A and B are shown apart, each in its own frame.
Chain A
Amino acid sequence: MTSLLEISRVSRDFGGVRALDDVSFSVAEGEMVGLIGPNGAGKTTLMNVICGLTRATEGAVVFAGSSLNNVRPNAINHLGIARTFQIPKPFVGMTVWENVLTASLFGGRRGRSADARRAAVERALEIVGLSPRARVAAESLNVAGRKRLELARALAMEPRLLLLDEVMAGLNLKEVEAVMGVVERVNGEGVTVLLIEHVMKAVMGLARRIVVLHHGQVLAEGTPEDVTRDPDVIAAYLGSGIAYEGQDAR
């Protein structure tokens, strides 16, 4: 398998704080990789670097053979990268449908026909289960609904690479399972997924490869089983008990 996303030796400083420190890993086409780590590990910073909202201080991100360094977020999106936000950012003042339509009309690879863009809206709403609520104002959705809207907007752009930033945080078990089903389905259709998640059960059940970040560095990388057995990882999570919970997932 050729790698679709190549992160090589990426560092990012915020003033004196090194949020990312020499991070390297790659994601193959069609793969689903989980990115986990304690709070403040640098997961979201890494996602911001990939999608262009934050610039890497050092290192390079390469997507499908082209460097993303110094490329603006909107241009990165047009290469086929879509992301969701941990704290949902719905377009207030628009309906759910208009939110997804806006994403589909502007986002995604260039050259998609207008018909394809409209069809993608209906499909994305259907996949995440928001079709019945398409006409309500986006701000009237609850947390679970807003997370689904984030996902629907990303899917409507028909990305090659989907970056999911804690799409399941704050959801109840039933909702988590519904979103897991969606992510699995999308990945099954060939979309490469990089999944940041605090809900360990979800990551362990979905991703076949896990990257663990800690203090901005890659602490471990491997299958869910390998990672949860890694003494360094257990030490990093010690006290929280989360690492243990992951082992009996699915």
Chain B
Amino acid sequence: MRRYAFWLWLLLAAGLLALAPLALNEYWMRVASSVLMWVAMAEALNIILGFAGYPAFGNGAFLGVGGYTVAVLMNHGVGFWPALAASVLVPGLIATAIGVPVLRLRGHYFAIATIGVNFALLSLIQNLGFTGGGSGLSVPLYPGSAEALSVMFFYLFAGLAVVSVVVTQLVRGSRLGYAIRAIQASEEAAAVMGINGTLYKVAAWVISAMLTGAAGGIYAYWNGYIEPVSMFDIVTSVKLFIMVLIGGAGTVVGPILGAVGIEVVSEYLWSTLGGLHLAVLGLIILLAGVFVPRGLLSLRFWRRRGRGRDGAPTNRTWGVDEGGGAS
């Protein structure tokens, strides 16, 4: 039974998401779409950060790459769906190319290198003619009514969020998942046990980049206009990091909780406190970091007892790992 718990919860969540447009008004549809986009991106970051233990601090760059892929292609007459497919592939290719050298670095050095990648891509986009340079790029408008637009993008982001969560769950129990979790624990031990570190680290980052790129692709079409400084804003990466860490890195559910929590709370604070909302949000994040350093999912509230078949600790899915391990 416990084995199927994830899929039952997922089915329930997908059902609620499918019905949500009936219950939500225009404003909340927009908020929900944005929350789902963050869920997809946080889960994508979780694959490289939470499972492989590589702090990809510039992962937001793939949002920009995905967004610009869709914007440029659609401006050249390509339809949205093929453009969206390209916004998955292009970040994947970039992650493959830069992953091989950059994933040799560890810890802070890797984090700094990924920030460098973010700024290099920003500067490239700003200086290439076909990207519209620093002034940004308009994307052809969605042809339907405002209501149809809101429903369609809600479903697109919901679909992407579900795909992200499913991919994370599948990666976790896969050969790739075991390899990157071993790499996180000890890269030397993994290597002498026959694990090809470069291969699996790059694979993990490529999956992460592709999911983040898709989010950027959908966002570009949704927003109708993109500009380099906001698409490659380092704050995107910072926010993703906070979501993953506050929710619970290396778990499937944690990043969902982190993304929804941060987005909903910051939306609420913004609507009630206005300009002060960032200060209060910062305080909340600080307190969470101090009192729940291993993420919301490490709280006893969520704890489930028992272990699954074959010695696999099912409760690890819920973010609980007994004993003080790096997680």
Does A pair with B? Answer: yes
Is B189 touching A95 in the complex (CB atoms < 8 A)? no
Is A51 touching B194 in the complex (CB atoms < 8 A)? no
Is B193 touching A153 in the complex (CB atoms < 8 A)? yes
Is B313 touching A140 in the complex (CB atoms < 8 A)? no
Q: How many residues of A are in contact with the other chain, CB < 8 A?
A: 36
Is B323 touching A139 in the complex (CB atoms < 8 A)? yes
In the assembled complex, the CB of A68 is this many whole angstroms from the nearest CB of chain B, namely 12
With A and B bound together, what is the CA distance between A69 and B47 in angstroms?
34
**Contact A77 B192, CB 8 Å, known A92-B326, A137-B321:** yes
A94 within 8 A of B: yes
Is A107 touching B313 in the complex (CB atoms < 8 A)? no
List B280-327 residues whose CB lies under 8 Å from chain A: 307, 310-313, 316, 321-327
In the assembled complex, the CB of B165 is this many whole angstroms from the nearest CB of chain A, namely 19
**Contact A53 B175, CB 8 Å, known A96-B311, A97-B310, A140-B322:** no
Q: Which residues of A contact B175 (CB under 8 A)?
A: 105
With A and B bound together, what is the CA distance between A103 and B178 in angstroms?
10
Is A91 touching B189 in the complex (CB atoms < 8 A)? yes
Is B311 touching A77 in the complex (CB atoms < 8 A)? no
In the assembled complex, the CB of A162 is this many whole angstroms from the nearest CB of chain B, namely 12
Stretch at the interface among B37-45, B130-138, B179-187: B179-187
Is B195 touching A74 in the complex (CB atoms < 8 A)? yes
Is A106 touching B197 in the complex (CB atoms < 8 A)? no
Is B194 touching A78 in the complex (CB atoms < 8 A)? yes
As a 0/1 sequence over residues 64 to 78 of chain A, the CB contacts with chain B under 8 angstroms (1 = contact) are 000000001110111
With A and B bound together, what is the CA distance between A115 and B222 in angstroms?
50
Q: Which residues of A contact B325 (CB under 8 A)?
A: 92-93, 137, 139
Is B193 touching A77 in the complex (CB atoms < 8 A)? yes
Q: Which residues of A contact B324 (CB under 8 A)?
A: 139
Stretch at the interface among A26-34, A81-89, A176-184, A209-217: A81-89
Q: Which residues of B contact A137 (CB under 8 A)?
A: 313, 321-323, 325
As a 0/1 sequence over residues 148 to 191 of chain B, the CB contacts with chain A under 8 angstroms (1 = contact) are 00000000000000000000000000010011011011101111
With A and B bound together, what is the CA distance between A92 and B294 in angstroms?
15
Is A89 touching B185 in the complex (CB atoms < 8 A)? yes
List B211-248 residues whose CB lies under 8 Å from chain A: none
Is A72 touching B191 in the complex (CB atoms < 8 A)? yes
B25 within 8 A of A: no
B250 within 8 A of A: yes
With A and B bound together, what is the CA distance between A89 and B325 in angstroms?
12
A60 within 8 A of B: no
In the assembled complex, the CB of B197 is this many whole angstroms from the nearest CB of chain A, namely 7
B127 within 8 A of A: no
A90 within 8 A of B: yes
With A and B bound together, what is the CA distance between A139 and B323 in angstroms?
6
As a 0/1 sequence over residues 42 to 55 of chain B, the CB contacts with chain A under 8 angstroms (1 = contact) are 00000000000000
Q: Which residues of B contact A139 (CB under 8 A)?
A: 321-325
With A and B bound together, what is the CA distance between A96 and B191 in angstroms?
18
A7 within 8 A of B: no
Output the nearest chain A residue to B184 by Cβ-Cβ distance. A93
A98 within 8 A of B: yes
Most buried by A among B184, B311, B316, B322: B311
**Contact A102 B182, CB 8 Å, known A77-B194, A93-B316:** yes
Is B194 touching A93 in the complex (CB atoms < 8 A)? no
Q: Which residues of A contact B307 (CB under 8 A)?
A: 95, 135
With A and B bound together, what is the CA distance between A105 and B196 in angstroms?
12
A5 within 8 A of B: no
With A and B bound together, what is the CA distance between A91 and B53 in angstroms?
12
**Contact A74 B197, CB 8 Å, known A91-B181, A94-B181, A140-B322:** yes
A171 within 8 A of B: no
Output the nearest chain B residue to A77 by Cβ-Cβ distance. B194
**Contact A93 B321, CB 8 Å, known A74-B197, A98-B178, A137-B313:** yes
Q: Which residues of A contact B311 (CB under 8 A)?
A: 95-98, 134-135
Is A108 touching B181 in the complex (CB atoms < 8 A)? no
Most buried by B among A72, A85, A135, A153: A135
Of the residues B186, B193, B322, B327, contact of A106 by C-beta under 8 Å:
B193
In the assembled complex, the CB of A33 is this many whole angstroms from the nearest CB of chain B, namely 19
Output the nearest chain B residue to A153 by Cβ-Cβ distance. B193
With A and B bound together, what is the CA distance between A51 and B41 in angstroms?
39
With A and B bound together, what is the CA distance between A82 and B175 in angstroms?
20
Output the nearest chain A residue to B325 by Cβ-Cβ distance. A92
With A and B bound together, what is the CA distance between A28 and B195 in angstroms?
27
> What are 24 residue pairs bridging A and B, where the CB atoms are less than 8 Å apart in the complex?
A52-B191, A53-B191, A53-B192, A73-B188, A74-B196, A82-B193, A89-B189, A91-B181, A91-B190, A93-B185, A93-B250, A93-B321, A93-B327, A95-B307, A98-B312, A101-B178, A102-B182, A105-B175, A106-B179, A106-B182, A106-B193, A106-B194, A139-B324, A139-B325
Q: Could you tell me which B residues sit within 8 Å of A by CB distance?
A: 175, 178-179, 181-182, 184-186, 188-197, 250, 307, 310-313, 316, 321-327
Given A83-B192, A89-B186, A139-B321; 6 other pairs, CB 8 A cutoff: A74-B193, A91-B190, A92-B321, A135-B307, A139-B323, A157-B193
